[in-house]
Amino acid sequence: MQHLLWGKVVLVLVAVVAVLQVVHLILLSRLEARHHHHLDDTNDHLALLNSEAETSFSALVRSLHQGRVLDSSGEYQIVPNLALAARQLHGKTTTNSTPDIALVTQCSFNHLHHLIPLAQRWQGPISVSVFAEDQEVNDALRSIATLRNCYSTVRVNVSFHLVSPLSAGGRGGLYSAPPASLFRCDLAFTSGLQRRNYDFFNYATKNRLFGEALRDDKTVWVVPAFEVRETVAPPRTKTELLKLMDKGDLRPFYIELCWKCQVHTDYDTWQKEPPSPGISPLFEVLWKDPWEPFYIARNSVPFYDERFKQYGFNRISQVCELHVAGYKFSVLNNAFLVHKGLKTAGSFHSDKDLDQERNRVLFRHFKLELREKYPESSRRCY
The C-alpha atoms of residue 336 and residue 355 are separated, in whole angstroms, by: 29
- Euclidean distance between the first and final Cα of the chain, in Å? 113
- In the chain, which residues have pLDDT < 50? 40, 42-43, 45-46, 48, 93-96, 168-195
pLDDT tens string 240-287: 999 999 999 999 999 998 899 999 999 999 999 999 988 999 999 999
The C-alpha atoms of residue 246 and residue 364 are separated, in whole angstroms, by: 40
pLDDT at 191: 33
Contact 321, 370 (CB under 8 A): yes
Contact 168, 132 (CB under 8 A): yes
pLDDT at 45: 47
Contact 146, 185 (CB under 8 A): yes
pLDDT at 90: 60
Contact 131, 163 (CB under 8 A): yes
pLDDT at 192: 33
**pTM for the model:** 0.77
pLDDT at 197: 63
pLDDT at 91: 56
pLDDT at 5: 61
**Overall residue count recorded for the chain in this entry:** 382
pLDDT at 213: 84
Phi/psi for 70 (5° steps) reads: -85, 150
Q: Is residue 146 exposed (0-12), middle (13-18) or buried (19+ Cβ within 10 Å)?
A: buried
Contact 101, 124 (CB under 8 A): yes
Q: Is residue 308 exposed (0-12), middle (13-18) or buried (19+ Cβ within 10 Å)?
A: buried
